[in-house]
Amino acid sequence: MELLILILYVLSTVTLLISLQLLIKSSKTSPKLPPGPVPLPVIGSLLKLGDKPHKSLAKLAKIYGPIMCLKLGRRTTVVISSPALAKEVLQKQDLAFSTRSIPNAVHAHSHNRYSTAWLPVADQWRSLRKALNSNIFSGSRLEASQNLRRQKVQELIEYVGKCCQEGVSVDIGSAAFKTSLNLLSNTVFSIDMADPTQDSVKQFRHLIWQSAVEIGKPNLVDYFPILEKIDPQGIRRRLTNHFGQILELFIQLINQRLELRRLGKSGAENDVIDILLNISETNGEINKTHIEHLCLDIFGAGTDTTSSSVEWAMAELLRSPETLKKAKAELEQTIGKGKPIEESDIPQLSYLQAIVKETMRLHPPAPLLVPRTVETNVEVCGYTVPQGAQVLVNAWAIGHDPSVWENPTSFMPERFLDLDIDVRGRDFELIPFGGGRRICPGLSLAIRVIPLMLGSLLNSFDWKLEGGIKPEELDMDDKFGLTLQKTQPLRVVPFPM
Ligand code: HEM
Ligand SMILES: *[C@@H]1O[C@H](CO)[C@@H](O)[C@H](O)[C@H]1NC(C)=O
Ligand SMILES: *[C@@H]1O[C@H](CO)[C@@H](O)[C@H](O)[C@H]1NC(C)=O
């Protein structure tokens, strides 16, 4: 195990330094930390994380409770694993927990200094969130951009229709990725970034996924800051390369637009990039560098999360033919067989909505949300979360907790039909988008796009697993980055209805 060897390698140096520090440190009375596993010397509980931290932390929480404290190397991590405590951290004491804990890797291209996702709650972050909320995600903006989404989903259905005629299978994740990429790129730049040569999309998706992997991967530098310069696992170096390639793309697009504006040929687009460039001309808080990194945030946070939700939903439906049948029946009754779905139909499609919620309960795209930290000691339910601790909220564990959900591992959308629980950050049993002031700003878009794509795929075709795989044999394994992805891409064959 690569991690183990590395740990042994640095162990000696670090032990020495820590013993020295301990010698110097005077004995202080320590605050009452949440319970947790007894840490090993130096490395603490680092080896307990494994390559699926959402699952190993859920197991540990069964032993130590809904608020637990882990020593990971030099770093204290507090993990929250119940609705009540999530409410405490994300809502009641939101402000105290609203600073991000920044993985060292995110210093690549100084992303942490410009990014909405990582900046502390202060003027710059407020300006960027405001720019996003009022120009992309507001109700009126989303109403106005409906046409665009209708068209991109229509293109998805045409692509699947072609596969259907040719009798070939569809890789749902990559088809949905292409659709969400083009949705966003048209909203922001008025272009299709996914061009017909599939390879460029594949590469972009790979870059986005690999970035999530590097940010989510346990990095020794985060647990032993002394290793920062060495970057022993090469995580920051690789993320610098991935971010560099993505940023290069945006820089080109932004420069092209600036050139057009200089020539007085722009203004007609009225797209997000024009709006942002306009803002940067008057608001000192936002300049070109921020806009580049805002694009990285939008495309990094908004493409794979959306497409993998569609893929997981399809996978669960193909595993559960009865549920699939009910979903299609609802669509047929409400919309009419084979007819296109409008976003305004979604409120009437309660079973489809329940399917999306149930998918996000079992497969939250960001299983540990995005890490936070506290800047002072904070009291939570009688325990102290110590200053500087990393705080993780395990949305995956909450979604799988048998004391919260009956038959937690079963896919049963019906459970939501008479349950008033939504994903908008007010019901802490289901928090795929997080909560509080740091809640995902893309929520309003995602809850339109996911049911729209899924419903359209279901209402236009019949579906079968490729290669005669039986529903119960479908591989549902996941892999962890900052986000979750299906390990085996779902390949399904569409049939005319
Ligand atoms: C299924 C879709 C999505 C899921 C499940 C999701 C989930 C999340 C989560 C859990 C967070 C952290 C919230 C917290 O700390 O409480 C987050 C933050 C964020 N998301 Fe999303 N997201 C999705 C789609 C999108 C889309 C479509 C966009 C943009 C186009 C987006 C942009 C962002 C940004 C910029 C942040 C950082 C916000 C901040 O730190 O202030 N997300 N998202
Ligand atoms: C940007 O500013 C220009 C000039 O002030 C204006 O004509 C244009 O409509 C603005 N664009 C947007 C999208 O607000
Ligand atoms: C944008 O502002 C930041 C400070 O907030 C500065 O470091 C950066 O160099 C500026 N970028 C440009 C292109 O002026």
CATH number of 124's domain: 1.10.630.10
Q: CA 267, CA 150: separation in Å to the nearest integer?
A: 24
Residue 134: CB within 6 Å of ligand 2?
A: no
List strands edge to edge, sheet with 170-171. 170-171, 491-495, 462-465
Q: Which letter, b or e, does each residue of 357-368 get, where b requires 16 or more Cβ atoms within 10 Å of its Cβ?
A: bbbbbbbbbbbb
Neighbouring C-beta atoms of residue 39, cutoff 10 Å: 17
| pLDDT tens, residue by residue, 417-461 | 999 999 999 999 999 999 999 999 999 999 999 999 999 999 999
**At CB < 8 A and 24+ separation, what contacts does 413-419 make?**
413/323, 413/351, 413/354, 413/355, 413/357, 413/358, 414/354, 415/354, 415/358, 416/353, 416/354, 416/357, 416/358, 417/350, 417/351, 417/354
Q: Which letter, b or e, does each residue of 41-71 get, where b requires 16 or more Cβ atoms within 10 Å of its Cβ?
A: ebbbbbebbeebbbbebbebbeebbbbbbbb
Ligand nearest to the CA of 114: 3
Domain count, the chain: 1
Parent domain of 195: 2-495
pLDDT tier at 202 (50, 70, 90 boundaries)?
confident
Phi and psi, residue 356, nearest 5°: -65, -45
Q: How far is the CA of 287 from the centre of ligand 3 (A)?
A: 6
Query: Counting Cβ atoms within 10 Å, is residue 475 exposed (0-12), middle (13-18) or buried (19+)?
Result: exposed
3-state secondary structure of 37: coil
Q: CA 92, CA 421: separation in Å to the nearest integer?
A: 19
Residue pair 21/74 in contact (Cβ under 8 Å)? The answer is: no
Residue 362: CB within 6 Å of ligand 1?
A: no
Maximum mean pLDDT: which of 108-112, 274-278, 281-285: 108-112
Q: 3-class secondary structure for 350-364?
A: HHHHHHHHHHHHHCC
| pLDDT tens, residue by residue, 53-101 | 999 999 999 999 999 999 999 899 999 999 999 999 999 999 999 999 9
Residue 289: CB within 6 Å of ligand 3?
A: yes
Residue pair 486/312 in contact (Cβ under 8 Å)? The answer is: yes
Q: CA 3, CA 49: separation in Å to the nearest integer?
A: 11
Residue 288: CB within 6 Å of ligand 3?
A: yes
Length of the chain: 497
Q: CA 240, CA 105: separation in Å to the nearest integer?
A: 8
**Residue of 134, 269, 274, 279 to mutate, ligand 2, most atoms within 8 A of C-beta:** 274
Ligand nearest to the CA of 284: 3
Please tell me the residue having the least CA distance from ligand 2 atom 6. 267
Q: CA 411, CA 399: separation in Å to the nearest integer?
A: 12
Residue 8 has pLDDT above 60, yes or no: no
**Residue of 109, 125, 289 to mutate, ligand 3, most atoms within 8 A of C-beta:** 289
